[in-house]
Amino acid sequence: MNTELVSRLDRKTGVIGIVGLGYVGLPLMLRYCEVGYKVIGFDIDQDKVRTLKAGKSYIEHISSKRVADVIGRNFDPTTDFSRASEVDALILCVPTPLNKYREPDLSFVINTMDSVLPYLHKSMVVSLESTTYPGTTEEELRPRIEKGGLTVGEDIFLVFSPEREDPGNSNFATRSIPKVCGGCTPACLEAGLALYRQVIDQVVPVSSTQVAELTKLLENIHRSVNIGLVNEMKMVADKMGIDIHEVIRAAATKPFGFVPYYPGPGIGGHCIPIDPFYLTWKAREYGMHTRFIELAGEINSSMPDYVIAKVAAALNGKSRSINGSKVLVLGIAYKKNVDDVRESPSVFLMERLREQGAKLAYSDPHIPTFPKMREHHFNLSSVALNAETVGSFDCVLLATDHDRFDYDLIKTKSRLLVDCRGRFSERDSNVIKA
């Protein structure tokens, strides 16, 4: 059974393997290293592995010092997946995007699993952390493992434990965010709890992998639906000439029954724009149509077009069109104070502005050069904000409200300022709320 494995994990003598060294895998690796485990990190990106081997970080809120402290001591990054044979636990932190039809794309999970299958062995635990639909662990991973001759729950132990990272959140770190864990069998769950309890303050066991999978989807759908609601409220309030941000501040004084959510130009990141579609897709298998969830998705997806219409109207009020106008986009990360552009609504805004002929530039103190992305391409670098720069643009569009922006400078020097984040008052003659 799993007694020997649990003992190795509890004594911190077990070797941990983490596949995918991005915003989820890298902080998780550091946490395991910092409490004394040996960690082998796997990634298909050779540039990432070279950077880590040099003791440097490629994620802004993770310092290079933390990486340098564990390289050569108890962390070994590699692109060689055959080294999975050396680990006692294998944690999969790979992307789960949508395909062009807005359906789940499990190719990263499946390809990763197929890559490590020849190197799986008895008395090890495999944990999937990538957000996915209920049934993925049992329907996709378990059959592949057992086809290789290992019986899940007896020879090898399989769990699902969804990641809950919130990049840039200084109030919560890997250690302090409770960890939900569900196993394919009771023995699997026991191994999963042993895997995480030395590095996470609170591990929350649930009865199955399906419960754990649906838990993560509920968390993110809850946010998506509430953001959709407040975005719709914003559009209604705008028609009525009411400042929605003042309304939210007032409502938030109620000490019960209300949680403040804030409108914006859309939703971004690796979870909120994607995860609801994993459930809507799976629900169709059961003859269910998730109307409420899909409506929120439609509202949130429409927000970039709403903002562009606001930009067009604002420029029109200055006797200009988007075509030929110089537009400066402030903030291209998906949320403030991070360097993450995955699914960022700012990028969608930039594409729509480019399609309509705008002369684009952006400023983001966290992203000096527009990164390589699978679907979005801009050959741009961040411009420095000063009085001359800001004043040279026909329109300044505040898309992501980083704390490092000089908002007094932006307000006083912008000819026309379109505000998606409620940072400015429409009492200023050059400000348009979007």
- Domains of the chain (ranges, CATH numbers): 3-208 (3.40.50.720), 246-433 (3.40.50.720)
* 369 strand-pairing partners: 381
Taking the C-alpha atoms of residue 176 and residue 188, their distance in angstroms, rounded to an integer, is 23
Residue 274, strand partner residues: none
Taking alpha carbons only, the member of 200, 188, 192, 122 closest to residue 155 is 122
pLDDT, tens only, 166-182: 887 878 889 999 999 99
User: Catalytic residue numbers?
Assistant: 271
- DSSP one-letter code for 122: S
Question: What letter represents residue 406's amino acid?
Answer: D
* SS3 label, residue 432: strand
Q: Do 99 and 108 contact (CB within 8 A), yes or no?
A: no
Radius of gyration (Cα) for the chain, nearest Å? 24
Q: What are phi and psi of 276, to 5 degrees?
A: -55, -35
Amino acid residing at 17 = G
CA distances from 69 to 30, 65, 151, 258 (A): 9, 6, 38, 44
DSSP E strands in 302-430: the ranges are: 326-330, 359-363, 395-398, 417-419
**Please, which residues have CB within 8 angstroms of residue 54's CB and are 6 or more apart in sequence?**
none
Which candidate, 126, 130, 128, places its Cα nearest to that of 148?
126
Cα separation values, 174 from 165, 201, 202, 273, Å: 7, 9, 11, 22
Residues in Cβ contact with 220 at an 8 Å cutoff, skipping those fewer than 6 apart: 131, 271, 272, 275, 276
- Take residue 263 and report the two structure tokens written for it: 């409108």
Yes or no: say if 114 and 130 are a contact pair by the CB < 8 Å rule: no
Tokens 């010092």: give the residue.
Answer: 65
Q: Distance of CA 410 to CAs 53, 181, 384, 391, 392, Å?
A: 41, 46, 12, 9, 12
Tokens of 349: 């805004």
Counting every residue written for the chain, the total comes to 434
What's at 91, amino acid-wise? I
Task: Tell me the pLDDT of the chain (434 aa) as tens digits.
Answer: 689 999 999 999 999 999 999 999 999 999 999 999 999 999 999 999 999 999 999 999 899 999 999 998 999 999 999 999 999 999 999 999 988 888 899 999 999 999 999 999 999 999 999 999 999 999 999 999 999 899 999 999 999 999 998 887 878 889 999 999 999 999 999 999 999 999 999 999 999 999 999 999 999 999 999 999 999 999 999 999 999 999 999 999 999 999 999 999 998 877 778 888 899 999 999 999 999 999 999 999 999 999 999 999 999 999 999 999 999 999 999 999 999 998 899 999 999 999 999 999 999 999 999 998 877 889 999 999 999 999 999 999 999 999 999 999 999 999 999 999 999 987 778 999 99
**What confidence tens digit (pLDDT) does each residue in 203-238 have?**
999 999 999 999 999 999 999 999 999 999 999 999
